[in-house]
Amino acid sequence: MPEEERIALLNGLKAKWEAVNTEFQGAAHLTVLDSSGKIYRKEKWESQLAQIEKDIEKLNKKNIVIANYA
């Protein structure tokens, strides 16, 4: 993967993480999750943040191999 593409992807992931985290933090003051919608949104944000963090970690590795099995 070219370095420019890797950096562009990293920057995009970091921006996405920031956007999701802002939404998550906006609702963090809710200590009582009294509806299924609130619980769903909290779990969704936590899941998205975890996945984005994994993706950022993978892109921070020195050698990245992309396999195309099509």
Dist. CA 63–CA 19, nearest whole Å: 28
Q: What's residue 65's pLDDT?
A: 65
Kindly state the tokens that stand for 22: 């802002």
The residue with tokens 């999701």 is 20
The whole model's pTM is what?
Answer: 0.75
Query: If we measure between CA atoms, which residue out of 69, 12, 18 comes closest to residue 4?
Result: 12
Convert the pLDDT of each residue in 25-61 to its tens digit. Answer: 888 776 677 788 888 888 999 999 999 999 999 888 8
Q: What's residue 17's pLDDT?
A: 96
Give the phi and the psi of residue 17 in degrees, each rounded to 5.
Answer: -60, -45
Q: Could you please report the per-residue DSSP string of 24-36?
A: HHHTTT-----SH
Convert the pLDDT of each residue in 9-28 to its tens digit. Answer: 999 999 999 999 999 988 87
Kindly state the tokens that stand for 54: 């994994």
